[in-house]
A and B are shown apart, each in its own frame.
Chain A
Amino acid sequence: EAGVVQSPRYKIIEKKQPVAFWCNPISGHNTLYWYLQNLGQGPELLIRYENEEAVDDSQLPKDRFSAERLKGVDSTLKIQPAELGDSAVYLCASSLDSLGIAGAGEQYFGPGTRLTVT
């Protein structure tokens, strides 16, 4: 079974440019998460989708960040315009659901996209 796929793996852009990250979750997983991981820190949730609905986007900086999950499968996270402080790893994770304490609820993470803003 293929894991969570993310692309690109690495991205270098100049500040004020737009950038987009793509995530393909594990087939059949209804819940999709985007996390931000700064160097030397743990992941921090940006947004959680249940199917195509964003059910928790309280930590998403909406002035410059946007996300979508059309048809409840693939998802795209966009930053426009990027700032120097956005340099980080953007992780996508998926799970069958978000409520299970094991099994169905377990998150599977992708390898992340490492963004460098110069």
Chain B
Amino acid sequence: QKEVEQDPGPLSVPEGAIVSLNCTYSNSAFQYFMWYRQYSRKGPELLMYTYSSGNKEDGRFTAQVDKSSKYISLFIRDSQPSDSATYLCAMSAFPGYSTLTFGKGTMLLVSP
């Protein structure tokens, strides 16, 4: 079993839909959780950084962490075709970005 599991998709939704992307993990030491967006033939870019359990909102994006279930989510409201990309979760037992464990990524396709 991999430390971080993420459904590769693709997840296809119509424009304006609410999108839910999820990761599960097995390492209870993970405390810092990140979501990255990666467009085709580009490097990942950081969307959200959260610590421990709870919710964090930034514009149309909401990150949710449930450490008791070892489950994290990223919600995208009012999805746009420009949101079409691969979304990678990443996590670490330590603050900072030096020891990240990434999920495989979920490909999201938002159709106009």
Contact = CB atoms under 8 A, between A and B. Distances in A.
Contact of B44 (A31, A100, A102, A109): A109
Contacts of A56: 98-99
Given A48-B98, A98-B96, A42 B42 contact: no
Given A42-B88, A42-B90, A45-B100, A101 B32 contact: yes
Interface of A: 4, 31, 40-45, 48, 56, 91, 93, 95, 97-102, 105-112, 114
Interface stretch (B12-20, B45-53, B59-67, B74-82): B45-53
B45 A98 contact: no
Nearest to A56: B98
Which one of A45, A95, A98, A101 has the highest number of Cβ atoms from chain B below 10 Å of its Cβ? A101
A4 B32 CA distance: 24
Interface residues of B, number: 24
B77 to A, nearest CB: 23
B43 A110 contact: yes
B102 A43 contact: yes
A116 to B, nearest CB: 14
A4 B43 contact: yes
Contacts of A91: 43-44
Which one of B43, B45, B49, B51 has the highest number of Cβ atoms from chain A below 10 Å of its Cβ? B43
A44 B43 CA distance: 13
